[in-house]
Amino acid sequence: MTAESLLTLSQVTKRFPGCIANDHVDLDVKAGEIHALLGENGAGKSTLMKIVYGVLKPDEGEIFWQGKPVQIESPAAARRLGIGMVFQHFSLFDSLTVAENIALGLDSNPPLNRLAEEIRTIASRYSLAIDPDRHVHSLSVGERQRVEIVRCLLQDPKLLIMDEPTSVLTPQEADGLFETLRELVAEGCSVLYISHKLEEIRALCHRATILRGGKVVGFADPKASTARELAALMIGSEVGASRRGAAGNAGEPVLEITGLSFPGDQPFGIDLHDLSLTVRAGEIVGVAGVAGNGQAEFLDVLNGEALCLTADAIRINGVGVGWTGPRQRRMLGMGFVPEERLGQGAVPEMSLSENALLSSYQQKGMVSGGMISLGKAISFARDIIRTYAVRARGDMAEARSLSGGNLQKFIMGREIMQDPKLLIVAAPTWGVDAGAATAIRQALIDLRGRGAAILVISQDLDELFEITDRIAVIHHGRLSSARPTSETTIEEIGLLMGGADAAAETADVA
Amino acid sequence: MLLKLEPRGERSKVMIYATPFIAIALTLFFGAGLFALMGHAPQTALYTFFIKPVSDVYGMSELLVKATPLILCAVGLAIGFRANVWNIGAEGQLIAGAIAGGGMALLFHDSQGLWLLPLMIVTGIAGGMAWAAIPAFLKTRFNANEILTSLMLTYVATLLLSYLVNGPYRDPDGFNFPESRIFHDAATLPILFEGSRVSISAIIALFVVLAAWMLLSRSLIGFQIRVIGMTPSAGSFAGFSAKGIIWFTLLVSGGLAGLAGISEVAGPIGQLLPVISPGYGFTAIIVAFLGRLHPVGILFAGLLMALSYIGGEAVQIDMGMPLAVTGVFQGMLLFFLLSADVLIRYRIRRVAARPVTVKARAE
pLDDT tens column, B272-305: 999 999 999 999 999 999 898 999 999 999 999 9
User: Residues 80..139 of A with a Cβ closer than 8 Å to B: which?
Assistant: none
User: Whole-angstrom Cα distance, residue A295 to residue A339?
Assistant: 10
| Confidence tier at B360 by pLDDT (50, 70, 90) | very low
Mean pLDDT, residues B117-139: 97
- The pLDDT > 70 percentage for chain A reads 92
Exposed, middle or buried, A435 (CB in 10 Å: 0-12/13-18/19+)?
middle
Cβ–Cβ pairs < 8 A, chains A and B: 80
Q: Which residues on chain A are in Cβ contact (under 8 Å) with B10?
A: 398, 400-401
The nearest alpha carbon in chain B to A357 belongs to: B223
| Confidence tier at B107 by pLDDT (50, 70, 90) | very high
* CB pair distance less than 8 Å for B230 and A347: yes
- The pLDDT > 90 percentage for chain B reads 62
User: Residues 194..223 of B with a Cβ closer than 8 Å to A: which?
Assistant: 214, 218-221, 223
pLDDT for position A138: 80
Q: Which residues on chain B are in Cβ contact (under 8 Å) with A344?
A: 231, 233-234, 236-237
Report whether pLDDT(A479) > 80: yes
Which residues in A117-271 belong to E strands, given as ranges?
159-163, 190-195, 207-212, 215-220, 253-262
pLDDT for position A42: 66
Q: Which of A222, A262, A167, A268 is nearest to A477 (CA)?
A: A262
A1 in contact with chain B, both atoms CB, cutoff 8 A? no
Report whether pLDDT(A241) > 70: no
Q: Which residues on chain B are in Cβ contact (under 8 Å) with A336?
A: 237
| Confidence tier at A502 by pLDDT (50, 70, 90) | very low
User: Who contacts A510 (Cβ-Cβ below 8 Å, separation ≥6)?
Assistant: none
User: Whole-angstrom Cα distance, residue A65 to residue A32?
Assistant: 14
Interface test with A, best of B221, B228, B231, B348 (most A CBs within 10 A): B231
Q: Which residues on chain A are in Cβ contact (under 8 Å) with B8?
A: 17
- The pLDDT > 70 percentage for chain B reads 96
The nearest alpha carbon in chain B to A73 belongs to: B355
Q: Which of A23, A28, A95, A107 is nearest to A60 (CA)?
A: A23
Instruction: Supply the ipTM of this predicted assembly.
Output: 0.81
Exposed, middle or buried, B348 (CB in 10 Å: 0-12/13-18/19+)?
exposed
A450 in contact with chain B, both atoms CB, cutoff 8 A? no
The nearest alpha carbon in chain B to A59 belongs to: B357
User: Whole-angstrom Cα distance, residue B6 to residue A62?
Assistant: 24
pLDDT for position A266: 65
Q: Which residues on chain A are in Cβ contact (under 8 Å) with B354?
A: none
User: Whole-angstrom Cα distance, residue A313 to residue A293?
Assistant: 20
Mean pLDDT, residues A389-406: 86
Which comes out higher in pLDDT, residue A46 or B360? A46
A335 in contact with chain B, both atoms CB, cutoff 8 A? no
pLDDT for position A510: 35
Contact A248, A433 (CB under 8 A): no
CB-nearest to A358 from B214, B234, B357 is: B234
B9 in contact with chain A, both atoms CB, cutoff 8 A? yes
Q: Which residues on chain B are in Cβ contact (under 8 Å) with A58?
A: 357
CB-nearest to A344 from B233, B355, B357 is: B233
pLDDT, one tens digit per residue, over A295-354 is 889 999 999 998 888 899 999 999 999 999 999 999 999 999 998 888 899 999 899 999
Interface test with A, best of B12, B220, B237 (most A CBs within 10 A): B237
pLDDT for position B194: 82
Q: Which residues on chain B are in Cβ contact (under 8 Å) with A358?
A: 227, 234, 237-238
* Longest Cα separation, chain A: 76
pLDDT, one tens digit per residue, over B226-268 is 999 999 999 999 999 999 999 999 999 999 999 999 999 999 9
Contact B226, A357 (CB under 8 A): no
Mean pLDDT, residues A35-63: 85
pLDDT for position B355: 46
CB-nearest to B223 from A304, A343, A372 is: A372
C-alpha distance from residue A35 to each of A88, A193, A195 (Å): 17, 6, 11
| Confidence tier at A249 by pLDDT (50, 70, 90) | low
Low-confidence winner among A140-149, A200-209, A276-285, A499-508 (lowest mean pLDDT): A499-508
pLDDT, one tens digit per residue, over B196-225 is 889 999 999 999 999 999 999 999 999 999
pLDDT for position B9: 64
- CA distance, residue B7 to nearest chain A CA (Å): 8
pLDDT, one tens digit per residue, over B30-75 is 999 999 998 889 999 999 998 998 888 888 999 999 999 999 999 9
pLDDT for position B353: 54
3-state secondary structure of B294: coil
Q: Which residues on chain B are in Cβ contact (under 8 Å) with A328?
A: 239
pLDDT for position B347: 83
